Structure 1
């Protein structure tokens, strides 16, 4: 592209120089020739006037007297009736420019100038025009190179940006080139880079969330299947198989929930459900794990509560809190249910050292963990709670107390005089 821009600019300049240069050469040649002819005529008229004045005054007319009146490069022939011709200067050879003037006494003055002098002036003029034309060509080439670089370099940058996007590097460059059309392309590429970055972030987040959220149901399912392989009692096999099927259903719910949240985190399928059933299910699933490390998990508080939300999502939030207590807490883990206003609260606490002070305000951020863990569990749990219209908070750092707040009434069931701000 650079070569085409330079060639096209140079071609335009050469055409302009050829058109105007030839015209200028013709005009200057004619002007120089006309000026030389006028000089010779003027010289002849001036010389004949001098001869007339001397003849009228009876002054002596000789070549020596008139030599100073003729230019060194010109030749003059003075013819006076009854006298010998007077020659001043050397008669030029070759082509000449001549002019003849006749005086009042009948004398004739002829002045000649070699045409080579005119040719020399024309040559100098042509040299000057050629020099100017050459400078114009050089300037045109420099300007063409600059303009080509100004246009080609941004295109190269834009191509590199597009190539980086295609190779999986979605960082926007935010570089502009002071050319509206190219800046528009740069804007589109930067917008595309930002969209690709968001999609890649969402995909990585979904993968991380899926690996974390699926780990617990898969572990529980694996434990049930191991129980089936280790027993020959049909009743035990049937019971464990039933529990395994429930785990498969929960696993399916987890996958669907993750996919739904990845498309639109605000999308929910909240229903009114029995909170005791979800709490007892989680205690039953986690009791073997706690028993294996010599710890206990218990529940207390108000019973027979009904909450609004997605049972699967609530179960995942509780599982994240219970697993967090198993990994980072100590002693007995207690799940307490209570009512505050129009909300039901599920508190999860343990007897461990609690949350470090430096992590208190950041405990729900991704990658934030007090130990060697992923730091994803609590962040995913809060997202799931908020997607259901609830909220997850840390109520106390030492000993740790986490509270899951859920509404007891769906929004469409609220009386007109109720304040919607109190409903989560």
Structure 2
């Protein structure tokens, strides 16, 4: 797209340069030639006037008398009836401009000027136009490159946002670019991200709650059917029907168990082994501008090249929520520390602020609970996402505040 934009703008500039410069060059050339003819005609008129004045006064006409009236580099000849031809200047060879004037008594003056000076002036004019056209083309190329980057960068950013949205990381980025059409697309993507995040959270919560609530009555129903089978007095009828019902209950119990497992087990189809460094690198790049604006710093400590099992988009969303929470409610520099404990990999986010009030404690993960007049939803959603992805989110320390995301380690590197 960048190349097409550059070629399009450059093509327009070349057409404009051709449309304006070519006619301008022709007009200027003709103007220079006409001015040269006018100068030669004027010189011939001046010499003729001088000749007529001397003839009227009865004075002799010589070349020295009118040589001063002739432009430099010109050749003048004067023909007077009954006298020899009078010449002044050096004869001109090659292309020349000629002007002839005749007097009332038959005298005539011819002025010949070389075209070398005219051609030189035309060459200078064409050179100047060429330089101007070249500067215009260079300016057009620079403008096209700048404009292409200005428009391509937001499109690339929007494509990355859409890709993240499809990979399970529905976090709005709240970025605008100063272009109404692109800002509209970014706004729609942000609204869609928020809607998808709410839908995913609601669906996961509903699936987990439904699976958990269904498992208990199914277990009780299964036990009652087993008792009916054991106490039935008519084996041929009751036992047979009870056995069939028990099989159906066991099948339904298995379905519910799989639903619950898919909500908790990181080996679900959406879970993959990935490098945690890539997610951390993404967070550093994403939060870098905000950190610089607030005069704070995000530092990374601990392990490198750690592989974990889960959904990259979900892990990125949880870490982003923790960093945003420290940026909004904490103070000082923020530290993202990676360590391993047993088979789990722990990502800790810590800042240098006052920490979490003691009266809140682990209630910070409850919905609508906040100590800083915020919505109290971010940490609750982050904890739900972590648990749905097979991990867990905990508050390890109140002061300094340390939030820890426990992830399942992987042997894949």
Query: Shorter-chain TM-score: what band?
Result: 0.5 to 0.7
**Structure 2 Cα separation of the partners of residues 234 and 151 of structure 1:** 78
Deviation of 1:180 (Å):
2.2
**Structure 1 Cα separation of the partners of residues 363 and 183 of structure 2:** 40
Task: Report 1:107-256 matches (<5 A).
Answer: 107-206=107-206, 209=209
Which residue of structure 2 lines up, in the alignment, with residue 275 of structure 1?
A: none
**Structure 2 Cα separation of the partners of residues 166 and 144 of structure 1:** 33
**Structure 1 Cα separation of the partners of residues 132 and 213 of structure 2:** 79
Question: 87-96 or 18-27, which moves further after superposition?
Answer: 18-27
Which residue of structure 2 lines up, in the alignment, with residue 80 of structure 1?
A: 80
Q: 1:234 to 1:359 in 2, by over 3 A?
A: farther
Q: 1:128 to 1:364 in 2, by over 3 A?
A: closer
**Structure 2 Cα separation of the partners of residues 16 and 136 of structure 1:** 10
Deviation of 1:61 (Å):
2.7
**Structure 1 Cα separation of the partners of residues 152 and 358 of structure 2:** 56
Deviation of 1:362 (Å):
4.9
Give the TM-score normalised by the residue count of structure 1: 0.51
SS of the residue 1:94 aligns to: coil
Which residue of structure 2 lines up, in the alignment, with residue 365 of structure 1?
A: 366
SS of the residue 2:134 aligns to: helix
SS of the residue 1:153 aligns to: helix
**Structure 1 Cα separation of the partners of residues 170 and 362 of structure 2:** 31
Deviation of 1:221 (Å):
8.7
Deviation of 1:92 (Å):
0.9
Structure 1 portions without partners, runs of 5+: 236-240, 260-355, 369-374, 381-424
Q: 1:102 to 1:210 in 2, by over 3 A?
A: same
Question: 105-114 or 93-102, which moves further after superposition?
Answer: 105-114
SS of the residue 2:191 aligns to: helix
**Structure 2 Cα separation of the partners of residues 25 and 141 of structure 1:** 23
- Greater relative contact order: 1 or 2 (C-alpha under 8 angstroms, separation 6 or more)? 2
Deviation of 1:104 (Å):
3.3
SS of the residue 1:104 aligns to: coil
**Structure 2 Cα separation of the partners of residues 155 and 359 of structure 1:** 43
**Structure 2 Cα separation of the partners of residues 145 and 364 of structure 1:** 49
Q: Could you say what the CA RMSD is over the residues aligned between the two structures, in angstroms?
A: 4.0
Deviation of 1:106 (Å):
2.7
**Structure 1 Cα separation of the partners of residues 33 and 138 of structure 2:** 31
Deviation of 1:77 (Å):
0.9
SS of the residue 1:358 aligns to: coil
Task: Report 1:18-417 matches (<5 A).
Answer: 18-206=18-206, 209=209, 358-359=359-360, 362=363, 365=366
Q: 1:92 to 1:359 in 2, by over 3 A?
A: closer
SS of the residue 1:90 aligns to: coil
**Structure 1 Cα separation of the partners of residues 364 and 80 of structure 2:** 126
**Structure 2 Cα separation of the partners of residues 170 and 360 of structure 1:** 28
**1:378-405 CA distances to partner (integer Å, 9 max, x unpaired)?**
xx9xxxxxxxxxxxxxxxxxxxxxxxxx
